[in-house]
Chains A and B, each alone.
Chain A
């Protein structure tokens, strides 16, 4: 199976370990991943709130190039990119007037768009196209003793027809981790927003929101938090010093991408999965796993 790959800006810098681990995992599972040629930033929510037609047009350029490549559906690992690209596609399919404006803008660069390729998150791709059982069958190691709080964040599960029935309490990531041998952790805040760019524009509010997530993960005895988005990961990991000192207790905890434990279970090398890029590292003994 082949997919067009939209890494997004974060995966080139702060989220580089997400990029590395996705490439590893797709390779290990025998799935083809083809980076969209010369992709541009999807515009994110910041652009959405400035100019409407422009924001749809720049994000549509990526959809058009992916379509031209003909490698199949688009995989977008960053929840924000995923949301923006999927939303653009839906708006363009449902609003013909908007579509004709965007078509005209794209034509200025010699591009056309038929909205053929769906936009999908890698978690959904793995769970629906391969299936949890098939993935677990390929595992070489068991994640015994690991307790992951699975954090879905908001952008992925909520607006754009996420694949699970229950958008208030998704289970795909929990089920995947459990199938790989990890202990289940009930994490009631799994879809609560971390505040996104509030951390920059309105820090006190951002810190509050992240603090409640970290506290919850600790209270539930998690050994790490597992995320599906570079922004969630950034917010949850990089403010731990600040939050620990304002909360007056140690709230440090490793924050991983779901593709990292998955990669470990598939027998990938920890370096190749980018674990060295994390500022709150997974303890060395957590990397020693029993063979299946």
Chain B
């Protein structure tokens, strides 16, 4: 059964402010697309996910608490959390959860929502990385690592710092280059126009996004504490 049609208490606690209701609907819509997504209701708060996560020590909201906050009607704080950006999608939590909850996919859904809502700082590395990657694929049909890294370094910092950061990548770059592991030029696929048609068509079918009123924060709370 689709989760978004359920009315039980666990899924719609008390009276929620408008913004939260908007987010909740968007989230549950996304959960509907995840096979097994409805198991979300079965969380027993055992903490296996947090205990299994190799990155939980760098997170501000543990994977278990993500589910707890969702239940408590606080999706907005999840969209602002460092957690959704630090998850490396290693699926350890998902494989071990005794209730079969698709935690990794839920975190993906939250990440997408955070991007849809524009809740992340402008030069935020994880976002810039994803976005640069998407640009490469749209332009060439394949990822071009040199272009990706160049764009990433340029977009995550100021020009001067960006130059400095690019320099720090040079040793690795030269090592790879000497060993014949770098493509200096991008390769474009032959069917790039077909691919563009597919992307355009799919974009039209993406769910419409209702924006909640929010200003872009200058940073994700606490992200700088782990060295970014």
Contacts and interface: CB of A to CB of B under 8 A. Distances in A.
A57 interface: yes
A50 B112 contact: yes
A54 B206 contact: yes
Nearest to B84: A49
A51 B206 contact: yes
Interface string A48-81: 1111111011100100000000000000000000
Contact of B143 (A9, A38, A45, A204): A9
A261 interface: no
A53 B206 contact: yes
B17 interface: no
Nearest to B125: A201
Contacts of B33: 52, 91, 95, 97-98
Nearest to B143: A9
A197 B111 CA distance: 15
Interface in B86-105: 86, 88-92, 94-95, 104
B142 A40 contact: yes
Contacts of A159: 91, 94-95, 104
Interface in B157-213: 171-172, 175-176, 179-183, 187, 189-191, 194-195, 197-203, 205-206
Interface in A137-193: 154-155, 158-159, 167, 192-193
B92 A43 contact: no
Given A14-B145, A41-B142, A277-B180, A193 B54 contact: yes
Given A13-B183, A53-B202, A90-B35, A197 B191 contact: no
B152 interface: yes
B55 interface: yes
A238 B172 contact: yes
Given A38-B190, A90-B35, A277-B179, A155 B125 contact: no
Given A95-B35, A277-B181, A40 B90 contact: no
A101 B207 CA distance: 11
A16 B180 contact: yes
Task: Name, among B149, B181, B227, the residue most crowded by chain A CB atoms within 10 Å (CB to CB).
Answer: B181
Range of interface residues on B (Cβ < 8 Å): 35 or more
B61 interface: no
Nearest to A60: B198
B92 A202 contact: no
B30 A52 contact: yes
Nearest to B197: A108
Contact of A46 (B88, B104, B134): B134
Given A13-B181, A57-B198, A238-B175, A105 B205 contact: yes
B179 A279 contact: yes
A47 B112 contact: no
Contacts of A289: none
Contacts of A236: none
Interface in B115-133: 115, 125-126, 129-131, 133
Range of interface residues on A (Cβ < 8 Å): 35 or more
A167 B86 CA distance: 23
B137 interface: yes
B228 interface: yes
B197 A154 contact: no
Task: Name, among B85, B88, B171, the residue most crowded by chain A CB atoms within 10 Å (CB to CB).
Answer: B88
A196 interface: yes
B48 interface: no
A218 B189 CA distance: 42
Nearest to A204: B227
B194 A109 contact: yes
A117 to B, nearest CB: 19
A192 B88 CA distance: 11
Contacts of B125: 200-202
B67 to A, nearest CB: 18
B90 A105 contact: no
Nearest to A93: B35
B87 to A, nearest CB: 9
15 contacts: A9-B143, A14-B181, A50-B130, A51-B112, A52-B206, A57-B201, A98-B33, A108-B197, A108-B201, A158-B90, A193-B54, A198-B55, A202-B125, A203-B227, A239-B172
Given A98-B33, A155-B90, A202-B125, 12 more contacts: A44-B133, A46-B134, A47-B134, A51-B206, A53-B206, A54-B199, A57-B198, A158-B94, A193-B88, A200-B152, A201-B228, A238-B175
Interface of B: 30, 33, 35, 54-55, 58, 85-86, 88-92, 94-95, 104, 108, 111-112, 115, 125-126, 129-131, 133-134, 136-137, 141-145, 149, 152, 171-172, 175-176, 179-183, 187, 189-191, 194-195, 197-203, 205-206, 226-228
